[in-house]
Structures are given as structure tokens and as C-alpha cells.
Structure 1
Amino acid sequence: MSDRLLRFVPVLLGAALIAGCTSADPRAVLNPGGGNEQTAIDPVTNSQVIQGACPQVILREGTAYYTQFAKGGDGDPEKIIHQASISDTTRQCRVSGDQIVMTVAVSGRVVAGPAAKAGTVEVPVRVAVLEGETVLYSELQKHPVTILEGMPAEQFIYTNAAVTFPAVASRTAKLYVGFDPGPYNTP
């Protein structure tokens, strides 16, 4: 092979692995065994496990954007402290015993509004796993984002590595991620 072609092999392999990790089909990840099953080693038990399906990330309508107004300024564009938006999401799953353990990552940006001041703002991010109407996991966290003086926008990456639910629900569960200005408790 030419040197030029050899430089692209790692890029192509990396792209294939990333595509497999974000696919709804668990067989999409490269499997050295050649079969239809994914195999992995559970770090807790040090035993081989068969991976279940990894639910896709879903953004519910109205949860990809969040606007924070100054006190008493709801709806007034001059009272906007910041606006946040989600630009991308991903997830990774593994089976641990009878549970699916997911790492969910959300990237986005926060844009300073007319009422903004330099400093740290918090955006409310909720991760929820539902099977039908049954809530299997739900957590709302305040994610800090620092807005620097003179910078119109800041990017952020939110990660939750503790999303856990029963493995038997992996093919029917739905994973929702988004901004939620509601109370900071889990249902």
C-alpha cells in the first residue's frame, strides 16, 4: 500500500467504530468473533457479556432550547440572561449483570443575552429513560457553563455516566435528553 493510503486507514477504522457506537443496531459495531453478537468484558465481574441494544437519544419537542430571563422579565427580549441550545448527543451502553449502564453526552452552546454578566450560569439538563409510560431512570442536573467577558457564546459538554436501567428493557426503552427548567428531583 502507498504511504498516502496508509494514513487514511486509522481514520476509516475510527469512523466505522463511531458509526457503530451510534447505531440503533447493536450488531453494527465491529465484532472480532464474526458473529451477530457483540461481546465485551464486564469490568466488575471480569466475565464475558453479550451487549443488549443501546437506545437512541431522543430530544422531545421544545427541550433542545432553553432561555433564562432576569427575575420578572419573562418574555422580554431585553431581560434575556442567556439562551442555551443542544447541538449534538451521543451515548454508550454496556451490560453489567442484569443492568444496562449508559454514558450519555450532550454538547451545545450558551449565548449571552442583553442582561448577561460574565460568570457561571447553570443550564438544567434532564436525562430520562422510559419504557412506555414507566420511568426507569430520570435525573435533572444543573450543568455549569462559564461565560467569559466579551465572549458572545460558550460551548459546553454535559456527561452523565450513571444512567442505569434493567437490561431486559434495552430494546423497548426510550432515552430522552433535554433542557428542563422544572424542579430538581426525580419522579
Structure 2
Amino acid sequence: MVGKFSRGFLTLSLVAGLSSCNSASQGLDLSSNAASANAQPVQAVVQAYCPQVVMRDQNAVYRSYAKGGQDNPDKLLYQVSFNDSTRQCTANETTITINLIAQGRVVQGPAGTPGSVSLPILVEVVDGDNIIYSQKVAYPVDVPVGGTQFIFSKADVQIPNNPGGASRFTRVRLGFDNAPAAKKPRRS
């Protein structure tokens, strides 16, 4: 019985609180005629399209192995993947700036030790098949025993803002640069 009473009281309090937010107050006039007479006309702004973040299967996971242990599970140093991502966009007449944020996880492998690692993160913006932005970021993460979670943030992804905003086919691709490191030429 006490539970029904407290739920009823809570509901009644919530309804009363919300209804007071909608009541008109005679003491506060939000329309200032003097200020609006001097104000400049405001141009309407249409929000630009903010491209979605996608991850491709071929570079959604990154694995690092001990020297000579490629694809050997016993030589795995660590494995990294992204769990979730989001973005926020701002636009002006010529540029859309995308603030990209992603949550990732590093899991230590059997050959791994605690310490700092540099993750090869690849951020690309594509419109259909055309790459209009691409940058590789060496992102440092301190990895304790077992692994850790991390937050990756890139606030300066800029793409052209076409008339009418970005194309609906524009996507932000987030992943890891899984390409093998280029071998350094030997000196003679």
C-alpha cells in the first residue's frame, strides 16, 4: 500500500511541476518591443547534413604481433577495436567541420606487456566512391595488465560544404590502418 501511495504522490508531483512550467506569468514579459525595434533582421539557417560514421569489416579490428609472429595467436601483443562512435557537425558557407568521437578497447594478448602503444587510426570521409578527406592518426594509449578502454576524439575533420550541404552519400569511415609498414631502404 505504501508503494502505491508513493507512486501516486510522485506522479501527482510530477504533473503539478510540469503544469507550472506552462503557466503564463504576468510579471515576466519575454517580448521586448524596444529591443526588437532596434534588432537587425535574422537570416534563416538550414542545418547542413552531418555524415554518419561507419566502420568497414576489413579495418574495424587491429592486431599487433611480436616480431615474426604474424597471425600466430601465441605471439599476439594486443588487439584493438572500436565499440561505438558519434559525431557533431558545424557548418558555414564553405566548410563542414566534423567532431568525431569514438570509444575503443585494447585487449592484451598472450605475448603482450603493459605499456604505451600507438594505434594507427584511419579517418576518411567519402562521398560515394570518392575520398574527400583522409588522415592517419598515431593515437597513444597506455595499456595496463589485461587491457583498457579509450576515447578517441578528432575535432578538426573538415570537408567542403556544397550548396545544400553534404551529399546524402557522404560517410565518415573510421578504422585502423592495417597496411603493412613500408620497409626502409637499406643504405649501402
Distance in 2 between residues matched to 1:5 and 1:164, nearest whole Å: 44
Distance in 2 between residues matched to 1:157 and 1:63, nearest whole Å: 18
Q: Counterpart amino acid of 1:105?
A: I
Shift in alpha-carbon separation, 1:64–1:5, aligned structure 2, 3 A: farther
Distance in 2 between residues matched to 1:165 and 1:183, nearest whole Å: 28
Gaps of 5+ in 1: 10-46
TM superposition score normalised by structure 2: 0.68
Among 55, 79, 84, the alignment partner of 1:88 is 84
1:182 is aligned to 179
The percentage of aligned residue pairs carrying the same residue is 38
Query: Secondary structure of the residue that 1:145 maps to in structure 2?
Result: strand
Gaps of 5+ in 2: 1-8, 19-42, 182-188
Structure (1 or 2) with the larger CA radius of gyration:
2
Distance in 1 between residues matched to 2:75 and 2:106, nearest whole Å: 16
Confirm or deny: 8 A CA contact 1:58 1:177 kept in the other structure. yes
Query: Secondary structure of the residue that 1:68 maps to in structure 2?
Result: strand
Distance in 2 between residues matched to 1:5 and 1:63, nearest whole Å: 49
Distance in 2 between residues matched to 1:48 and 1:159, nearest whole Å: 31
Distance in 1 between residues matched to 2:140 and 2:110, nearest whole Å: 20
What per-residue deviation string (whole Å, max 9, x for no partner) do you get for residues 94-119 of structure 1?
10331100001111110011111121
Query: Secondary structure of the residue that 2:74 maps to in structure 1?
Result: helix
TM superposition score normalised by structure 1: 0.69
C-alpha deviation, 1:64, in angstroms: 1.9
1:172 is aligned to 169
Shift in alpha-carbon separation, 1:153–1:5, aligned structure 2, 3 A: farther
Confirm or deny: 8 A CA contact 1:110 1:154 kept in the other structure. yes
Confirm or deny: 8 A CA contact 2:59 2:178 kept in the other structure. no
C-alpha deviation, 1:138, in angstroms: 0.5
